[in-house]
Structure 1
């Protein structure tokens, strides 16, 4: 789906030369010059809302994703089966979070078609990599909880490496097509993707939560430490899915009910804004789920992640070693 960016500053047009007396054809039939604002010059509120949230990605998302990558690298000797997907997701979110400054400069100063193409490519990366890699994480957890025997047979890294390469190929193919533009009904591709991945992730995570709740030992209120860890991971992913992906899922399928200008300049930017801010929310949720944040002070952890801290305080020392 094409993203459109506008600005109230681009409301003047350079004066054109007077038509020659021997000019034939319609005088008004002029070639439309390139513009990074793409028709939303007087309807900027939704776009500014999106860019404001993207600024949060710059100041919080970049260090948070770098911290996630550092944690994954530190734990590379004892990796989780989902670490490859988490690492790819964090790297893609880091890449996308570095683009807003370039976007602002291009909007108000450069107005370069080449830079705008690079920005559109980053939007395509964000549109595709986030939902697909989250779906991979959900698939990994789904098989681990509901089909543990098959999961043990599929633990080899080659399976996750192959799936990651497939996701990256789909991501770059979609991003390249988005950059080129002009493909008929191309926006329907993203709508179909987001609907499919949202449905899969919700059903998958609800199934996992139900299975984990049901697997408690008879007469015991406490869940096994490993299952409790998986439960918190799945619950956090479900929260991310609902908050970040529900708005575009709820808005984009009803494109035909909006006027083209309203959909392009208001509905799209607001829906994408919730999707874009996931570049900050996803790494923060992951870091808050960690039982030990050695990179942060204990005071900071208590303020940012009170639920995780409280859960750790209730966990006996011998159980902590097993998680």
Structure 2
């Protein structure tokens, strides 16, 4: 269920509208503004979501800055998915910056105007993350299963067009979220996350299947590079399931919960797993790098030597082949 209308972190109480023929002295109760939306006595789910958002501030923002730094360093030899990764990192930084503002507005300002800007940031996170991840999955899917077609559509103009489309959809959704009151608007996010989750799982499953069957003639073992790619994609699939399965599994069954339980517990917990993707996604990208910006070579060599000493197998005699570059969300 879309959190603009019922989630306590994204909702506001609007004054009850008077009928057209009401007089000024009519006895009408006006609900005061509350950022907790009736969950003042049931804040555990909300605090869980806020705690994970604080992780985005402490870890996610620096990690996304490092991702952008890596993309800038590799701009002369860019990957086809770099534009999607860069936009995703930038918007995740924007979402992380809004977390301190959310905390201040929860416990100090209590401002409707500030809450509108916070709701806009939630709309950006709800839409941009899944859509850009879908673009990365599409790019990876075509590259592995249809390499000839991938070569024909390798020009950046196609990815720029997809990026513009994603930004348009994101800002349209976020603006509608701020305005509110649209009929059945709460179903938009539920439908979006269900479709995108299914799409990303299918893409990664087909990629894993293609890598698994791509063995040399008469060989039982997968090529080391393809095996490494297989493990990488499998790890990405696990991250996608971790971030998106909770809202996919919980939100379509709103009618089975009481309104208070769904609004105060189910929604904040489901969105917490989605929100923490702002930290998990850049970390997954960074751990796959051979060189991380601002870390000395001495530290990396020392760590690699320690890891090699803990292994039971002997180090290879020959130099390993070049690493296969796979776009990572």
Same structural fold, with TM-score higher than 0.5 when normalized by the shorter chain: yes
Task: Tell me by how many angstroms 1:5 deviates.
Answer: 3.4
Q: How far does residue 249 in structure 1 lie from its aligned partner after superposition? A: 0.3
Q: CA RMSD in A?
A: 2.6
1:315/1:118 CA distance change after superposition, 3 Å: farther
Deviations 1:72-99 (A, max 9, x none): 1100100111111111111111111111
Match of 1:5 in 2: 8
Give the superposition deviation at 1:43.
Answer: 1.2
Q: Deviations over 1:252-271 (max 9, x none)?
A: 00011111111111100000
**In the alignment, what sits opposite 2:252?**
253
Is residue 168 of structure 1 aligned with residue 167 of structure 2? yes
Asked if the contact 1:66/1:90 (under 8 Å) is kept, the reply is yes
Number of the residue aligned with 1:266: 265
Gaps of 5+ in 2: 10-23
Q: Secondary structure at the match of 2:321?
A: helix
Q: 1:56 & 1:162 partners in 2: Cα distance? A: 33
Give the gaps of 5 or more residues in structure 1. 7-22
Is 1:200 aligned to residue 202 of structure 2? no
Maintained 8 Å contact 1:82/1:137: yes
Change in 2 beyond 3 A, CA 1:46/1:277: same
Q: Structure 2 matches for 1:222-261, cutoff 5 A?
A: 222-223=222-223, 225=225, 227-228=226-227, 230-261=229-260
Q: Secondary structure at the match of 2:133?
A: helix
Relative to structure 1, the CA distance from residue 32 to residue 315 in structure 2 (aligned partners, 3 Å threshold; closer, same or farther) is: farther
Structure-1 residue corresponding to 2:125: 126
Q: How does 1:1-323 map to 2 (within 5 A)?
A: 1-3=2-4, 4-5=7-8, 25-26=26-27, 29-218=28-217, 219=219, 221-223=221-223, 225=225, 227-228=226-227, 230-296=229-295, 297-298=299-300, 316-317=318-319, 319-320=321-322
Q: 1:158 to 1:228 in 2, by over 3 A?
A: farther
Q: Which has the higher contact order (CA 8 A, sep 6+)?
A: 2
* Whole-angstrom CA distance in 2 between matches of 1:224 and 1:258: 49
TM-score (norm 1): 0.86
1:37-95 CA-to-partner distances (Å, cap 9, x unmatched) read: 22211111100000001000000000000000000110010011111111111111111
How many residues align structurally? 301
Provide the secondary structure at the position in 2 that maps to 1:267: helix
Give the Å deviation of 1:289. 1.4
Kept in 1, the 8 Å contact 2:137–2:200? The answer is: yes
Tell me by how many angstroms 1:217 deviates. Answer: 1.2
Once residues 175 and 65 of structure 2 are traced to their aligned partners in structure 1, the CA distance between those partners, rounded to angstroms, is: 26
Matched residue SS, 1:270: helix
Q: State the distance in 1 between where 2:66 and 2:233 align.
A: 21
Q: Provide the C-alpha distance between the structure 1 equivalents of 2:55 and 2:191, rounded to a whole number of angstroms.
A: 28
Q: Which moved more, 1:98-107 or 1:230-239?
A: 230-239
